[in-house]
Amino acid sequence: MSEINLFVEKYRPKTIEECILPESIKNTFREIVKSGECQNLLLSGKPGTGKTSLAKALCNDLDCDWIMINCSEDGNIDTLRTKIRTFASTVSLSDKRKVVILDEFDYSNASSIQPALRGAIEEFAKNCRFILTCNYKNRIIEPIHSRCTTIEFSIPSKEKPKMAKEFMSRCEMILDEEGITYDMKVLAELILKYFPDFRKILNELQRYSVSGTIDVGILATPSQKINDVIKAMKEKDFVTVRKWVAGNMDNSQTDLFRAIYDGLYEHLSPTSIPNAILILAEYQYKAAFVADHEINLTACIVQLMMECSFK
């Protein structure tokens, strides 16, 4: 087996105790492990907050046989008819409870696999449990909600400092293990910038660790060059707009939309601000589904350019 090089996989928590979570959520899963019986679960919350890691850790702690299916890539009815049904219908050779983890289930087909799954949950109740993870639970049909225990991955304000500190220690351990030098202040600022998206933080650390050091370069944002694209929008200069988008695609979509939102405010006429907000919100929503993020962001900027008045 090849060595795991991605930080998010190499250092993924293996047990519930290793997961960085609000105490109320961690206690809930401690009780599940203590009981030895897994329920059908729907884990809902923002990206990178540990839903998938927790699902895997729970299966490890309960010593289950489990499979994981990424529904954003494989969330169709054929998956239910083949992979899921084949796994769930057979008895474990080691007499272990079986669990199917359906990751990013909100991207599964709501008119085929979701209605079919409600029957499968009941059909295989004696032999198999289902753990679903999602970012947007409103995209999952109500019959699935009623068959699962929903756990929201929300972080109380009073627990955020404690969790950020825990993750700071985890990042220090990872960087020390990988032999990467780092600036403590920069690491702290990075965590504050992206918290509680742990996956994003680790990906940014790995991205900049190629040089062997983590310095202030990791904190650069597209907002530092936002005036370039605003100037191009005023001048209806599509070529410059396209070049700006292409040059910033290594930044997260959330950061790019936020940078445009923050930068446009002082350059738009007051009557155009409401329309600009609606345009940005629409394309930010579409960013969760589109195949080509560069085209989506370019379309957003072009619409802003054509429909808004600049000072």
Q: Say yes or no: 59 and 185 in one domain.
A: no
**Does residue 195 fall inside a structural domain?**
yes
| Cα 76 to Cα 224: distance, rounded to the nearest angstrom | 42
Q: Say yes or no: 280 and 232 in one domain.
A: yes
Residue 4, pLDDT score: 54
Residue 280, pLDDT score: 94
Give the three-state DSSP class for 112: coil
Question: Helices (DSSP H) in 46-141: which residue ranges?
Answer: 51-62, 71-74, 77-79, 85-89, 113-123
Residue 17, pLDDT score: 96
Q: Which domain holds residue 197?
A: 157-219
Task: Encode 103-135: b = buried (16+ Cβ within 10 Å), e = exposed.
Answer: bbbbbbeeeebbebbbebbeebeeebbbbbbbb
Give the three-state DSSP class for 77: helix
The domain boundary, picked from 184, 204, 219, lies at: 219
List Cβ neighbours of 133 (8 Å cut-off, separation of 6 or more): 43, 44, 51, 52, 55, 101, 102, 103, 104, 105
Q: Say yes or no: 144 and 237 in one domain.
A: no
Residue 27, pLDDT score: 95
The domain boundary, picked from 219, 237, 272, lies at: 219
Residue 51, pLDDT score: 95
**Does residue 2 fall inside a structural domain?**
no
Q: Say yes or no: 293 and 202 in one domain.
A: no
| Cα 232 to Cα 221: distance, rounded to the nearest angstrom | 19
Q: In CATH, what number is assigned to the domain containing residue 187?
A: 1.10.8.60
Radius of gyration of the chain (CA): 22
Which of 253, 307, 299, 245 has its CA nearest to residue 276? Answer: 307
| Residues of the chain where predicted confidence (pLDDT) is lower than 50 | 1-2
Residue 2, pLDDT score: 43
Residue 102, pLDDT score: 95
pLDDT digits (tens, 9 = 90+) for 251-290: 778 878 888 888 888 889 989 999 999 999 999 988 888 8
Residue 220, pLDDT score: 57
User: Which helix (H) or strand (E) segment is 198 a member of?
Assistant: helix 198-208
pLDDT digits (tens, 9 = 90+) for 31-80: 999 999 899 999 999 888 999 999 999 999 999 999 999 988 876 788 78
Domain count, the chain: 3
Give the three-state DSSP class for 103: strand
Residue 6, pLDDT score: 86
Which of 175, 179, 178 has its CA nearest to residue 218? Answer: 175
Q: How far is CA 109 from the centre of its chain?
A: 19
